[in-house]
Amino acid sequence: MTRTLKAAMLAAVLAFFVPVSAGATSRIKDLANIEGVRQNQLIGYGLVVGLNGTGDTLNNIPFTKQSLTAMLERLGVNVRNQTLRTGNVAAVMVTANLPPFGTQGTRMDVTVSALGDAKSLQGGVLLVTPLLGADGNVYAVAQGSVAIGGFQAEGEAAKIVRGVPTVGRIANGALIEREIDFSLNRLSTLRMALRNPDFTTARRIAAAINDFIGKPTAEPLDPGTIQITVPQQYRGNVVSLLTDIEQLRVDPDLAAKIVIDERSGIIVMGRDVRVSTVAVAQGNLTVTITETPQVSQPAPFSRGQTTQVPRTRIGVSEDGKKLAVVHDGVSLQQLVDGLNSLGIGPRDMIAILQAIKAAGAIQADIEVM
């Protein structure tokens, strides 16, 4: 065995024992979308029949009655000027997302939502409903049994509702009738749209693509767009180009940001959040009012009256916390530990973060949802 072969085998063995750093790299396909490869929203209006008395009230919902009358007339049943009292019909809006490159004859899921005062769509069947795009053309036709995730039950003195029984879904309930013309393989240039626009991330993606191709092919136009000139070896086969470059891994870079949801008290901090040296104190002022009314009884055989005498106790307490020092340039973990040392809840932490930002001591953007 030669000395070179021994060295190669030793290097291969040692490679199994060398720890690999777990970088926060992501595939390009998870960071950006290809311009033109997207879904299209469809919408339609239809009727759901077969409900067990939980449909629209025809006297209160005129469009349901008009739609039912028009549908029956198209089927040769004349019900003009007739009184309709059925409660088994509901007017619904049907929505769906036309998948990219959806071909004629394939199926897709649709969502059915009650439009009137129907109580439940359980057990209903959607009649043939054309689904239109933004241009007014029909791209699919929906029909089928509606499956709902909630239910409603009621009696004379009690009622229970779980989930939303007025919204349902039909799996593979729509048939695509029209295709969207988009010739991907004929394109000479491609545009990639970053899901989180960033200058550094756009430049890193372009550099990764150029390193893979071997020549300058990708160019970042702005923080959210990268233009790719299809190389000569991939002309007429853009799918292969996208298959190759979407698996490339890039370390995305994002701006330091703190997202706050004041309704639920949720706080999310990015990894690059930094804080300058600052001292934080937090105190809660609690005012307690206790009402203990007493009854005053008159003396026996007197002409007095029994009256209620109010008794009120007011207590004021302030739970003061000591100053906590957050040092300059601390990491996210140190910042969280420093705020937790104050023993406060998420609501107070939101106010503290906003106060630190107002003092100019936090290097991050705060987004309040």
* Antiparallel, parallel or unpaired: β 266-269 and 307-309: unpaired
Interval 306-320 mean pLDDT: 64
- What are 111's strand-pairing partners? 95, 169
Q: Is the pLDDT of residue 40 over 80?
A: yes
- Contact, 113 vs 44, CB < 8 A? no
Interval 337-354 mean pLDDT: 72
* Antiparallel, parallel or unpaired: β 365-368 and 257-261: parallel
Whether the full predicted model's pTM is greater than 0.85, yes or no, is no
Question: Cα–Cα distance between 41 and 126 in angstroms, integer?
Answer: 19
Question: Cα–Cα distance between 191 and 37 in angstroms, integer?
Answer: 10
SS3 62: helix
DSSP 142-165: EEEE-EES-EEEE-SS-EEEES-T
Quote the pLDDT of residue 7. 45
HSE at residue 217, side-chain half, CA atoms within 13 A, is: 23
| The pair of three-digit structure tokens given for residue 276, joined into one six-digit string | 């300058």
Burial-class residue 3 by CB neighbours within 10 Å (0-12, 13-18, 19+): exposed
Measured torsion, CA atoms of residues 59, 61, 67, 68, in degrees rounded to the nearest 10: -40
Kind and range of the H or E run holding 242 = helix 238-245
Q: How confident is the model at residue 317 (pLDDT cuts 50, 70, 90)?
A: low
- Contact, 267 vs 353, CB < 8 A? yes
Find, among 257, 260, 277, 258, the residue nearest to 346 by Cα: 260
Quote the pLDDT of residue 281. 67
Query: 133-186: per-residue pLDDT in tens?
Result: 999 999 999 999 999 887 677 776 677 777 788 999 999 999 999 998 888 888
Question: Cα–Cα distance between 76 and 130 in angstroms, integer?
Answer: 20
Query: 189-208: per-residue pLDDT in tens?
Result: 999 999 989 999 999 999 99
Query: 204-253: per-residue pLDDT in tens?
Result: 999 999 999 999 999 999 999 999 999 999 988 899 999 999 999 999 98
Question: Cα–Cα distance between 37 and 27 in angstroms, integer?
Answer: 17
Percentage of residues of the chain with pLDDT beyond 70: 77
CA 199 to chain centre: 25
Percentage of residues of the chain with pLDDT beyond 90: 39
- Contact, 292 vs 314, CB < 8 A? no
